[in-house]
Amino acid sequence: MTTEQTTCKQCGTCCKQGGPALHSQDLDLIRSGRIPVSSLITIRKGELVHNPLAKRIQPVSVELVKLVGKKRQWECCFYDDTQGCTVYKDRPYACRVLKCWDIGEISALMEKDTLSRFDILDKDDPLITLIREHERICPCDDLGYLQSHLSHLSGEQKNELERRVQSDLKFRARVTVDFQLKVSEELFYFGRPLFQLLQPLGVNLTESSSGFRLIWGK
Ligand code: SF4
Ligand code: SF4
């Protein structure tokens, strides 16, 4: 006879699949430093992510700020194989709401009342101007379009994307020096570099004597 699950066993399976997006209920955790900015990553509007409800990769409809993963994995940075959640008392709202045996409540929370960089940063933070500049020179709101039209893109569309990737890299090189940003801070302020967002589409970056170029195709 199987017993129906009614409580969290703290098995960590959900934590290994990735850190949660943060919600307005988490603002105090960030402001008080209990969840430091260095543990956050921004998923910009339009980035392609795995939607567990739709069970497919699709663009996010709003900007999200999530707990970052470990190295190149999505496993939550606060998960430890021996101790489990190392911030259990201060875990984000989505972690408190998640019941893997009944996903109704967590599903209703998806992309609702989420925090963006602008909710987290002080209004007079000098990096706000740079975030806006970055969004202007390197938007990523067309990744869904690129995903569905990849094999039909014109040469000019490919060139434009390559120029955008180059501008993104140049921008990051400048601001990380000017503001002495660590990689973890860069991931919060500007999200992942555009070339990384293109890799799941089979578009890769290469460096030659003439600079950075995109290689199309798997
Ligand atoms: S919510 Fe479910 S998957 Fe996540 S830790 Fe609890 S029992 Fe494990
Ligand atoms: S904060 Fe804790 S509970 Fe939430 S995903 Fe990370 S390790 Fe799991």
Q: How confident is the model over 39-55, as pLDDT tens digits?
A: 999 999 999 998 877 77
Grouping H, G, I as helix, E, B as strand and the rest as coil, residue 54 is coil
CB distance 189 to ligand 2 below 6 Å: no
Pocket of ligand 1 (CB under 6 A): 8-14, 98, 100
* 83 Cα to the center of ligand 2, angstroms: 11
CB distance 153 to ligand 2 below 6 Å: no
Ligand 2 atom closest to residue 84's alpha carbon, by position in its atom list: 7
Task: Mark 102-136 as b/e (b = at least 16 C-beta within 10 Å).
Answer: eeeebeebbeeebbbbeebbeeeeebeebbeebbe
Q: Name the closest-CA residue to atom 5, ligand 2.
A: 15
CB distance 98 to ligand 2 below 6 Å: no
Distance separating alpha carbons of residues 63 and 23, to the nearest angstrom = 11
In residues, how long is the chain? Answer: 218
Least-confidence region, from 17-31, 61-75, 84-98: 61-75
Task: Identify the band that residue 3 occupies on the pLDDT scale cut at 50, 70 and 90.
Answer: confident
* 139 Cα to the center of ligand 2, angstroms: 30
Structure tokens at 44: 């910009």
**Taking residues 190-199, what's their average pLDDT?**
96
CB distance 106 to ligand 2 below 6 Å: no
Q: Which ligand is nearest to the CA of 10?
A: 1
**118 versus 4: which is more confidently predicted?**
118
Q: Name the closest-CA residue to atom 4, ligand 1.
A: 14
**Taking residues 146-150, what's their average pLDDT?**
93
Q: Which ligand is nearest to the CA of 18?
A: 2
What pLDDT does 2 receive? 63
Strands (E) across the chain are located at 40-43, 48-51, 56-59, 64-67, 79-80, 84-85, 203-208, 211-216
What pLDDT does 143 receive? 95
As a whole number, the mean pLDDT across the chain is 93
Q: What is the pLDDT of residues 83-136, one digit of tens each?
A: 999 999 999 999 999 999 999 999 999 989 999 999 999 999 999 999 999 999
